[in-house]
Chain A
Amino acid sequence: MSDRSQKRAKIEAPKENPYLAHLSPSERLVGGTAAKNPYGLAADHPLANFVIGETTAEQGEAAEEGDINPFTDKPFSDRYKKILAGRRKLPVNKHRKEFLDLIQNNQVVILVGETGSGKTTQIPQFMVFDELPAFKGKKIACTQPRRLAAMSVAQRVAEEMDVVMGQEVGYNIRFEDCTSQKTMLQYMTDGMLLREAMNDPLLSRYSAIILDEAHDRTLSTDILMGLMKEIIKKRSDLKVVVMSATLDAGKFQKYFDDAPLMSVPGRTFPVEIYYTPEPESDYLEAAIFTALQIHRTEDAGDILLFLTGEEEIEDACRKIKAEADQMPDAGPIKVLPLYSTLPPQAQKRIYEEAPPPRTSGGRPGRKVVVSTNLAETSLTIDGIVYVIDPGFSKQKVYNPRIRVESLLVSPISKASAQQRSGRAGRTRPGKCFRLYTENAFMKELIETTYPEILRSNLGTVVLQLKKLGIDDLVHFDFMDPPAPETLMRALELLNYLEALDDDGNMTPLGSMMADFPVDPQLAKMLIASPQYGCSNEIMSIVSLLNVPLVFMRPPDQRKMADEAKAQFSHPDGDHLSLLNVYHAYKTSGEDQKWCYDNFCNYRTLKSADNVRTQLKRYMERCDLDLVSLPFDERPKGSYYTGIRKALAAGYFMQVAHQERSGNYLTVKDNQVVRLHPSSCLDHNAEWVIYNEFVLTNQNYIRTVTEVKAEWLLDIAPNYFDLDSFPNCEGKRVLEKLIQRRKAGGGDRDRERDYDRDESRSKSRKSDRSDKDRKEKRRR
């Protein structure tokens, strides 16, 4: 072992590091100072005796407890010292030596630690003191599945290390890079690291990769793990730590060829679990009732209630608050919602204290947090003593057969149920109320939640893997291989988008598409947009499609919100409405009040604008023209026609045709769907493109824009090859169109196309009569 480290020291130590060429010579490793110590540090520097990969826990602790911050050379603040005392109490702190021993002797270490053990904040710091990225010139990356977690943990660690956020410690999430050249520890989303790997396949900028929350098994973490297995073969100096919260770590261990496992027990207290004797007929009502029952009868302690979605959570919050305020014999109550689309300030409220008793000595106040599964692993709320678990969460499902990707309320897994109950025992012994029978727990719940890779569309991932140079996707070392049909669909999509050729090799276009941090369809749309003369507009639309919904619809002001939304709606479709919103927002001078008055989410629009700036940079990098069509040019409406054609260039595989019966049928899969009620398409459009096909109680297509069959045939003749079509009305319409085209000349046809466009817009005004005619035809 010492042999290897000596070798490494020889390579690393006194050499001029090309990655640090941007630093001043004093900061660089200059050969002359190497005589004193390997890194040119003064003898009294806190890190003077440190040898990369050979430090001890004592050394690290001593440096942390010193007076001078070794990374900034500034004295530690008082606040730092206070935080440090708290850090020393974390369970993981006792395992520093054990961890260093393992990581110094192994390339891959699996670490299991309950949430609250401090692994996410402390382990990366342990590694900073061992890897010394500041001198090595290579960063340490710690991945997080969620953007918010990456941001908040980075913030916390910056405070713990007494450095400025974005300098020594930073974060990098999609569309938001908060790092600098000085950054030695970088928190990032797993998707971001994967994206970085596309341009740096060996991740040579990093000396260590920490994959946190691996138990979440997100799509990107799964791919990253497969990637890590490849990279460590080629880079013996790269350290990998896989951190997981659940005890399913054996699987990770096996996957990484029996890597050593270290487990850090969390600070947990026993939790009593209660089941219901009979299945509940309404889990929401039962949950509210249980919460109120606890509030009335149980001792002090906060309640955490798990529900599935925003609407349900807001509903429950209102009801619990209203009922609890009526209770004369119970203490005051504070009910707080928590879900991912909630603004960060509102999310932070969950850390507030429970309200004080009404009178001194009266019944204690209580905090009730009503949350999605966000509070299951990623966020830790102290003070929770009671957990109510109805046994459901919203989970993503994808089925390649009918190409539907949706969030559906589904039963959780046993592992999730255990995780949830564990949240009750963080500060003292707690209780977990499961709103289902023990029998249901045993028989209805699967062991562990299916990893995301089995429930996702793999279009983006396949393109990324191809870009990474992994050609044999069939034998890629997936931890859980997806269904062949899922991969089949992804390859099909990329082939029709011309990102892959028929042999599955990446085309130059595909390589360009992979660079864009958006779905392949949207990337294609962006790249194609200059041809249609509307890249500026497409950029705006794509950026709005990559942020949460702009339109707000508060439950008590639905009517007003809908009226406000109607101002922006474009009769030809929702994509164009989004464009209208963006233009209106920019015209208003990005005014927050304007947003508030018009029921638009200011935060979302702001981040959309930020996304747009990033996209613009990518467009410029790819040497794509940024153009717009003149708004008033003849023939009338050509401005929007161009945009719609560009949209079709990306979304031609998500097309639906309106049947005579009035509903829509998705092309090729023949799924019966209808327009989502939020759609502003106000007339019977025969052909539409859609963003999403979602399942709720009904089949909906959401974010819809009208297109023309002619365009589809022009844009994607391969996809609209009628031999591959199942029998349906749409096929017959296309057949007729093709025959007519063969008979007449192409030019004349196109002219007619515009004529019909005009006549259509006229008929739109008399929409009523149009509908009547349809009725008659049906009869």
Chain B
Amino acid sequence: MSNAQHGGSDEEEDYMSEAFLKSLVSASENPMTKKQNMTYSERRRQKEREHLANLPKPLKEREREAREKGLETAISEENKGMAMLLKMGFKKGGTLGVSKHQEKSSATEQVTSSTLSSGSDALRAPLAIQMKQGRGGLGMDTLKKQKEQEEVEQSLKRAHEAFDVDYRGSKRDQFEHDKLSRHLGAAQAICMQLDVKKAAKDVQEGREENEDTPEPGQEGREFRRMGRSNSFWWIAENTPDDLVGTRMMGLAAPVATTASRGRRNFDLSDDEDGDLEDRKEKRVRLSTPDPIDDVAVEEKEEPEAQWGEKPAYAELTVYEKLEKVVRYLRQEHSYCFWCSAQYYGQQDLEENCPGESEDDH
């Protein structure tokens, strides 16, 4: 019989025949051909999996696995005992004991709350075995299990969330985000440098132009003010307070002393900030020395502020932040971040710089 079949398959089939088509289908399901279709990394991964599966597991692990498998597998129905049991009138899937007992008991079941009160509760499968490890008190295991489960659930949830967004998409986004963050950091550093330089110049000019020139030696204080109102452009995202201090220290030592106090104040302005025009106005006002403490100014400004609904700076995406800083640099300092060059003025900038965005460059 099998010989005949063999003989048949040896001959070449007509390509229109069903047998030929079948062999094609089976070929595609064949693991060998499937293997050929796999990419290198897929093959590598599969090999790795196989290798891991073949590694000898620790004895205790094997013990546990065999035990758990054994405990959940019902005794085979080919077992001799089963045949004997069937001869005694047992029905497969049934229970032992007297059946009339069951009917009678079901009515009174509610009265006695005992878990095993009678026939209707007759066991179908053996009682489970629970192995207690260690000397944890009663309830400790459940507590641990609960915690573990919560953790598992959370990580699952996280994994799910990550998965909801397309995996590759999220990878790309991650890369993009990292790049933007780097740009933002660089832009902020430049902004800070230029602001400081400009402020120094403004102060000098102001001293010449303005009558309310602050006393000499107030430069330090000005820096501080600058730092306070402006440094949110400079601070990299999520930089802790002390780090802000040290970074500023590199540029202007006196700022460092008030950095942490100042920071608290920016938070206020951070929240109000958003629009570039306003920013510019503020910038002008702030950069010119003001008799009133700028905190007070800002507070005063608050009511007339229209940017209530606008997203707070902290809530902006990295891209938006970068956009803002870049635009600020262009407008304030005629500096193009993408050209890495400071132009002589707005006009020079417009004529010689290809454009505002990275893509233009």
- Tell me the A residues contacting B by CB distance below 8 Å: 248, 250-251, 254-255, 276, 279-286, 390-392, 397-402, 404, 408-411, 435-437, 439-440, 443-448, 450-451, 454-455, 471-493, 495-496, 500, 502-504, 661, 663, 669-674, 695, 697-699, 724
Q: Are A489 and B75 neighbours in the complex by a CB distance under 8 Å? A: yes
- Given A279-B139, A444-B139, A475 and B99 contact (CB-CB distance below 8 Å): yes
B132 beta carbon closer than 8 Å to chain A: yes
User: Once the chains bind, are A473 and B142 in contact (CB under 8 Å)?
Assistant: no
B114 touches A248 (CB 8 A): yes
Pairwise interchain contact B66-A408, C-beta atoms closer than 8 A:
no
What would 6 more interface pairs be, CB under 8 Å, given A437-B139, A476-B98? A404-B129, A408-B130, A448-B116, A451-B116, A481-B123, A487-B81
Contact among B80, B85, B90, B126 with A401 in the assembled complex (CB-CB below 8 Å)? B126
Identify which of A279, A284, A398 gathers the most chain B CB atoms within 10 Å of its CB. Answer: A279
**Given contacts A491-B80, A674-B59, A390 and B101 within 8 Å (CB-CB):** no
B89 to A, closest residue via Cβ: A474
Q: For residue A663, which residues in chain B have a CB less than 8 angstroms away from its CB? A: 59, 62
Residues B105 and A254 in contact, CB atoms below 8 Å apart: yes
A480 vs B96: C-alpha distance when bound (angstroms): 9
**Is the CB of B111 closer than 8 A to any CB of chain A?**
yes
Q: Are B98 and A475 in contact (CB under 8 A)?
A: yes
Task: Find out whether the CB atom of B116 lies under 8 angstroms from the CB atom of A504.
Answer: no
The winner among A450, A481, A671 for most chain B CB atoms within 10 A is A481
Residues of B at under 8 Å CB distance from A?
56, 59-60, 62-63, 66-67, 70-75, 78-85, 87-90, 94-99, 101, 105, 108, 111-119, 121-127, 129-140, 142-143
* Contacting pair A401 B74 (CB below 8 A): yes
The distance in angstroms between the C-alpha atoms of A347 and B74, with both chains bound, is 43
A397, B127: Cβ atoms closer than 8 Å: yes
B53 to chain A, nearest CB (A): 16
Contact of A483 with B126 in the complex, beta carbons under 8 Å: yes
Q: B81 contacts which of A401, A410, A490, A669 (Cβ < 8 Å)?
A: A490
Of all chain A residues, which has the CB nearest B125? A483
Q: Are A489 and B81 in contact (CB under 8 A)?
A: yes
User: Which chain A residues lie closer than 8 Å to B131 at the CB level?
Assistant: 408, 695, 697
Residues of A within 8 A of B136 (CB): 279-283
Chain A residues within an 8 Å CB radius of B74: 401, 485
In contact, B140 and A491 (Cβ under 8 angstroms): no
Chain B residues with Cβ under 8 A from A286's Cβ? 137
A477 and B101 in contact, given A496-B80, A500-B84, A504-B84 (Cβ under 8 angstroms): yes
Docked pose: A276 CA to B79 CA in angstroms: 49
A residues within 8 A CB of B89? 472, 474-475
Min CB–CB distance B217 → chain A (angstroms)? 63
Q: 13 A-B pairs, CB-CB below 8 angstroms?
A: A250-B112, A254-B105, A279-B138, A401-B126, A440-B142, A454-B116, A473-B96, A484-B90, A484-B124, A495-B84, A502-B83, A670-B70, A695-B129
Contact A491-B81, Cβ < 8 Å, known A446-B115, A485-B125: yes
A-B contact count (CB 8 A): 223
**A598→B108 CA distance, assembly (Å):** 60
Task: Tell me if A483 and B127 are in contact (CB < 8 A).
Answer: yes
Out of A401, A439, A480, which one reaches B75, CB within 8 Å? A401
Which of B87, B125, B132, B142 makes the CB contact (< 8 A) with A410? B132
Given the interface pairs A286-B137, A480-B116, the reply to whether A473 lies near B123 with Cβ below 8 Å is no
Q: List A contacts of B138 (CB < 8 A).
A: 279-280, 283, 390-392, 411, 435-436, 440, 444-445
Contact of A487 (CB < 8 Å), options: B96, B101, B139: B96
Closest to B121 in A: A480
Contact B70 A402 (CB under 8 A): yes
Cβ distance A54 to chain B, nearest Cβ, rounded Å: 34
Return chain B residues, CB-CB under 8 Å to A491. 80-81, 84-85
In the complex, chain B residues whose CB is within 8 Å of the CB of A450 = 116, 127
- Also in contact, A480 and B115, with CB within 8 A (given A402-B70, A491-B84): no
Taking CB atoms, residues of chain A closer than 8 Å to B124 are 483-484
Contacts of B70 in A (CB 8 A): 401-402, 669-671
A173 to B268, CA, bound (A): 89
Kindly state the separation between the CA atoms of A495 and B142 in the bound complex, as whole angstroms.
42
A478 near B81: Cβ-Cβ < 8 Å: no
Instruction: List chain A residues, Cβ under 8 A from B137.
Output: 276, 279-283, 286, 390-391, 435-436
Distance in Å: Cβ of B273 to nearest Cβ of chain A = 49
**Known interface pairs A436-B138, A492-B80. Does A487 touch B132 (Cβ–Cβ under 8 Å)?**
no
> Is B66 a contact of A473 with CB atoms below 8 Å?
no
Residue among B89, B101, B126 with the most chain A CB within 10 A?
A: B126
B60 nearest in chain A by CB position: A698
Indicate if the CB atoms of B96 and A482 lie closer than 8 Å: yes
Q: Separation in Å of the B317 CB from the closest CB of chain A?
A: 45
Q: For the complex, give the distance between the alpha carbons of A281 and B66 in Å.
A: 29
Q: How far is the CB of A560 from chain B (nearest CB, A)?
A: 29
Looking across the interface, which residue of chain B has its beta carbon closest to that of A403?
B70
Task: Write the chain B residue with the least CB distance to A501.
Answer: B84
Q: Which residues of A contact B71 (CB under 8 A)?
A: 399, 401-402
CB distance from B360 to the nearest CB of A (A): 64
Top 4 A-B residue pairs of the complex, sorted by shortest distance between their CB atoms: A280-B137, A481-B97, A440-B139, A492-B81
Q: In the bound complex, do residue A488 and residue B79 qualify as a contact, i.e. CB atoms below 8 Å apart?
A: yes
Find chain A residues with CB under 8 A from B119 CB. 481
A251-B114, A490-B81 given; A483·B123 CB < 8 A: yes
Q: Are A484 and B96 in contact (CB under 8 A)?
A: yes
A407 to chain B, nearest CB (A): 12
The residue on A at minimum CB distance from B73 is: A401
Chain A: minimal CB distance from B86 (Å):
9
Cross-chain contact B140 with A280 (CB below 8 angstroms): yes
Q: Of the candidates A435, A447, A455, A695, which one forms a contact with B127 in the assembled complex, judged by CB atoms under 8 Å apart? A: A455
Whether B63 pairs with A699 at a CB distance below 8 angstroms is yes
Return B22 CB to nearest CB of chain A, in Å: 32
Q: How far is the CB of B116 from chain A (nearest CB, A)?
A: 5
Please measure, in the bound complex, the distance between the C-alpha atom of A447 and the C-alpha atom of B98, giving whole angstroms.
23
Give B132's nearest chain A residue, CB to CB: A409
C-alpha gap A478/B121 in the complex (Å)? 12
Q: Which residues of B contact A454 (CB under 8 A)?
A: 116, 123, 126-127
Please give the distance in Å from A681's CB to the nearest CB on chain B: 18
Nearest B-chain residue to A485, judged by Cβ? B75
- Chain A residues with CB under 8 A of B80: 491-492, 495-496, 502
Nearest-neighbour CB distance to chain A for B115, whole angstroms, equals 5
> Which of B59, B81, B134 has the largest count of A CB atoms less than 10 A from its CB?
B81
When C-beta atoms are compared, the residue in chain B nearest to A436 turns out to be: B138
Most chain-A Cβ atoms within 10 A of its Cβ — which of B59, B75, B95, B137? B137
Do A476 and B85 have beta carbons less than 8 Å apart?
Answer: no
**Which one of B75, B95, B113 contacts A481 once the chains associate, using CB atoms below 8 Å?**
B95
Q: Which residues of chain B are near A671, meaning CB under 8 Å? A: 63, 66-67, 70
Complex contacts, B81 vs chain A, CB 8 Å: 487-493, 495
- Residues of B with C-beta under 8 A to A477: 97-98, 101
The listed residue (A439, A472, A673) touching B139 by CB distance below 8 A is A439
User: Could you tell me the distance between the alpha carbons of A502 and B108 in the complex, rounded to whole angstroms?
Assistant: 39
CB distance from B68 to the nearest CB of A (A): 10
Q: Are B113 and A444 in contact (CB under 8 A)?
A: no
Across-interface contacts of B140 in A (CB, < 8 A): 279-281
